[in-house]
């Protein structure tokens, strides 16, 4: 017996049923090749399914299947989408996306920030926007894995994310409330590894403000004779830092 679902052809139903039966919410062209006579026919059907809202194209060879029983307003977790875009490697989610995940900020972010050595720009998928930030591969550290559904997603540790925000120009008063909630030894270690003297000095100054030992950071700062910041602002002599 052939079952009819409004708006879907029998071939489309077979393909979707196969993917759902094998729990392939994310799939490639190779996964569905058996249902089509040739490559061109497959592309036509994928285009039709995308127009019908049953398939979402993530990349050149990666797609998301929208379940037949999907309710109004259904969406996939944005962290899982990102993991699929990068095929589980060489990226991490950071910025406000992770600060909210860890409960360091309350406001729900409207964008997902992703750090990698390969992509730059923005991409709209479903009802959210992904912002890609390209960084040097040597800064792809301080990464943790969290489980969401059946995915192990890469996110920046709290310490790495806060330092990234400092690098991106967040004000010290905005960063300050996070510091005592973090592992200060790890913050120090990561700041030294990032090897940007301005970040070392800003973190050291914040440690001083919060009565946290900054000896290691100060020792690193004193190796450099140059000053950080612009001379038109206030000078913190200890840190050779203009604020």
Give pLDDT tens digits for 136-188: 999 999 999 999 988 999 999 999 999 999 999 999 999 999 999 999 999 99
Angle between helices 10-21 and 39-51 (to 10 degrees): 90
Clarify whether residues 92 and 142 are in a common domain. yes
Average per-residue pLDDT for the chain: 92
84 contact partners, CB below 8 Å, separation of at least 6 = 26, 58, 62, 64, 151
* Dist CA 69 CA 130 (whole Å): 26
* Dist CA 45 CA 40 (whole Å): 9
Mean pLDDT score, 197-204: 98
Look at the chain and report how many structural domains it folds into: 3
Q: Write out the two tokens for 112.
A: 């997902």
Clarify whether residues 238 and 173 are in a common domain. yes
Q: Is the pLDDT of residue 210 over 50?
A: yes
C-alpha dist (Å) from residue 171 to 70, 148, 168, 202, 205: 43, 32, 9, 10, 13
**The domain boundary residue, chosen from 134, 156, 178:** 156
Q: Is residue 3 part of a domain?
A: no
Q: Is the pLDDT of residue 74 over 80?
A: no
Q: Is the pLDDT of residue 233 over 90?
A: no
Q: Is the pLDDT of residue 2 over 80?
A: no
Mean pLDDT score, 116-130: 92
pTM of the model: 0.86
Q: Is residue 201 part of a domain?
A: yes
72 pLDDT band, cuts 50/70/90, is low
What ranges make up the beta strands (E) of the chain?
Answer: 26-27, 55-59, 62-65, 91-94, 111-116, 121-125, 128-134, 143-148, 151-156, 235-236, 241-242
235 pLDDT band, cuts 50/70/90, is very high
Q: Is the pLDDT of residue 71 over 70?
A: no
pLDDT at 4: 39
Domain, as residue range, for 25: 10-65
**The domain boundary residue, chosen from 131, 156, 181:** 156
Q: Is residue 41 part of a domain?
A: yes
DSSP helix/strand/coil, 102:
coil
Clarify whether residues 149 and 167 are in a common domain. no
Mean pLDDT score, 35-46: 95
Clarify whether residues 228 and 178 are in a common domain. yes
Percent of the chain at pLDDT exceeding 70:
95
Q: Is the pLDDT of residue 1 over 70?
A: no
Q: Is the pLDDT of residue 68 over 80?
A: no
* Dist CA 207 CA 197 (whole Å): 15
Q: Mean pLDDT lowest for which of 27-41, 70-84, 111-125, 152-166?
A: 70-84
């Amino acid at each position: 017996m052939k079952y009819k679902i409004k708006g879907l052809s029998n071939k489309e139903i077979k393909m979707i049923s196969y993917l759902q039966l094998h729990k392939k919410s994310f799939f490639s062209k190779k996964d569905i090749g058996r249902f089509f006579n040739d490559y061109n026919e497959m592309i036509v059907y994928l285009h039709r399914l995308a127009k019908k809202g049953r398939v979402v194209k993530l990349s050149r060879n990666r797609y998301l299947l929208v379940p037949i029983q999907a309710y109004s307003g259904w969406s996939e977790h944005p962290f899982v989408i990102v993991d699929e875009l990068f095929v589980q490697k060489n990226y991490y989610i950071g910025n406000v996306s992770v600060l909210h995940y860890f409960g360091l900020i309350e406001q729900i972010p409207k964008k997902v920030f992703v750090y990698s050595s390969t992509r730059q720009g923005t991409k709209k998928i479903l009802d959210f926007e992904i912002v890609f930030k390209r960084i040097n591969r040597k800064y792809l550290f301080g990464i943790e894995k969290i489980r969401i559904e059946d995915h192990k997603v890469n996110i920046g540790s709290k310490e790495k994310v806060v330092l990234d925000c400092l690098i991106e120009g967040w004000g010290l008063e905005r960063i300050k409330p996070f510091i005592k909630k973090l592992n200060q030894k790890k913050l120090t270690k990561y700041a030294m590894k990032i090897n940007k003297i301005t970040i070392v000095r800003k973190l050291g100054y914040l440690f001083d403000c919060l009565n946290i030992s900054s000896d290691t950071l100060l020792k690193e700062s004193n190796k450099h004779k140059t000053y950080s910041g612009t001379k038109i602002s206030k000078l913190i002599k200890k840190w050779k830092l203009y604020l």
